[in-house]
Structure 1
Amino acid sequence: MMKARGLFIALAATGLSGCAATGSAPVQVTRFHLGAPLERGTVTVEPMTGDAPASLEFSVYASAVQAELLQQGYTAPEPHVTAQYLAVVGVNRTTLEGAPRRSPFTVGIGAGGGGGYGGGVGVGGGVSFPIGKARSRYVTASQMSVQIRRRSDGTVVWEGRAQTRDDDKGPGAQTSVAATKLAHALFLGFPGESGRSITIK
């Protein structure tokens, strides 16, 4: 009995570590641009009108986008100097109810002989059922959109959108993690192929 219990605990631990090693959900990315080489310059990050979360939360996304822009050759303007470009950022996060999560513990009946008083009597077939009630499972859907506009004439020279879904109890649902993940995926291979949707794991 003790050996069986030890084996069960070991298998459960293996399953949990496997889930942890799976990583976060992939990101769907779509980008658009004019096809001409993008000139670099100074840039500031601002929220999209009417589409920004609380200012403290938005600052996390703005910092993630700015960090990616700096890596792509853009620079921050000097104090009190108007930037050449404006990166307009929109963020949308929604909690959705997914498929119910059932208990991982099951009880099997039949499928073999032995056991029971008298022994040697088997019940054909096998049936298993979960212990406990199904629990509701929720996911956090996160979407980030960015437009790079030229301040001189307001032309949008590049636009991109990234979206993903993560378990609301997982690390991917945290604001800081989601912001970094979406911004990195959005600017990976910048400027990217215009009009093409790709999946980044």
Structure 2
Amino acid sequence: MVLGLSACADSFNTQVTRFQSQLPAPQGQTFAIVADDASLAGGIEYGQYARLVAGELVKKGYVEAANPDAANLLVRFSYGVDKGRTHVESTGIRDPFWGPWYGPRYGRGWGGWGPGWGGGFHGYGTWGYGWNDPWFGGGVQSYTVYTSGISVKIDSKSDGKRVFEGRAEAASTSNRLSYLVPNLVEAFFTGFPGNSGETVRISVAPEKTKVKK
């Protein structure tokens, strides 16, 4: 497997950041999930992932409303994955500017979220392939790393105030949303709602791959 993500190979490692202000304790409050990104609204795929979020909130004690008009809380949900970036490193030599967490150490971290919370992921990338170069003492590894994430914002219907917002982000060699989003949702709701302003690292099960015989 790729060297730069070797520490992530055994699990799906996620960075989760959450903030809250007067988020009501789960005592039967009703909620409805709406798309925070207009381009996702009404999509079948979006609906599938939104149901995962709804399921987690129900587990916490909230009640899903029949529609947004009947809800006490509006849950604005979005997700995405960027186009990826190619990373090259010498075989057997760890790149000092690259860590298993959060991409290049000299940069912001993972980037791609755009202004505010969420809404910054667009499109898909392509896979990177290994290649050998005699000038690097036996070869180098070249692969593509994708940044994925979800954003969850909760507003009170009574006064329109934001009571919670958070996001979960991950760097991986997969750009399959059907794999990424469920894992991000699982990580996001681990220990929900968490401590306001705290960033935690949460690991969930890795992607299962079929072995060709």
TM-score tier after normalising by the smaller chain length: 0.5 to 0.7
* Alignment match of 1:76 (pick from 43, 54, 64): 64
Indicate the larger mover: 51-60 or 85-94: 51-60
Question: How far did residue 196 of structure 1 move?
Answer: 0.9
Question: How far did residue 175 of structure 1 move?
Answer: 1.7
* Alignment match of 1:194 (pick from 190, 193, 196): 196
Contact 2:33 2:74 in 1 (8 A): yes
User: Secondary structure, in 3 states, of the residue corresponding to 1:153?
Assistant: coil
2:190 maps to a residue whose letter is L
Contact 1:45 1:62 in 2 (8 A): yes
Counterpart in the other structure of 1:14? none
Counterpart in the other structure of 1:111? none
Higher Rg of the two aligned structures: 1
* Alignment match of 2:21 (pick from 15, 24, 34): 34
Cα deviations across residues 1-55 of structure 1 (Å, max 9, x unaligned)?
xxxxxxxxxxxxxxxxxx7x93343100110012665344111111114464882
Indicate the larger mover: 55-64 or 177-186: 55-64
User: Secondary structure, in 3 states, of the residue corresponding to 1:65?
Assistant: helix
Structure having the higher helix fraction is 1
CA distance in 2, matches of 1:58, 1:80: 16
Counterpart in the other structure of 1:48? 36
Question: How far did residue 200 of structure 1 move?
Answer: 0.8
* Alignment match of 1:155 (pick from 149, 158, 161): 161
Q: 1:79 to 1:154 in 2, by over 3 A?
A: closer
* Alignment match of 2:145 (pick from 139, 143, 155): 139
Counterpart in the other structure of 2:85? 97
Q: Which runs of 5+ in 2 are unaligned?
A: 1-5, 92-129, 204-213
User: Secondary structure, in 3 states, of the residue corresponding to 1:99?
Assistant: strand
Alignment size in residue pairs: 158
Q: Which runs of 5+ in 1 are unaligned?
A: 1-18, 108-126
Q: TM-score under structure 1 normalisation?
A: 0.65
2:150 maps to a residue whose letter is M
Counterpart in the other structure of 2:186? 184
Contact 1:38 1:157 in 2 (8 A): no
Counterpart in the other structure of 1:8? none
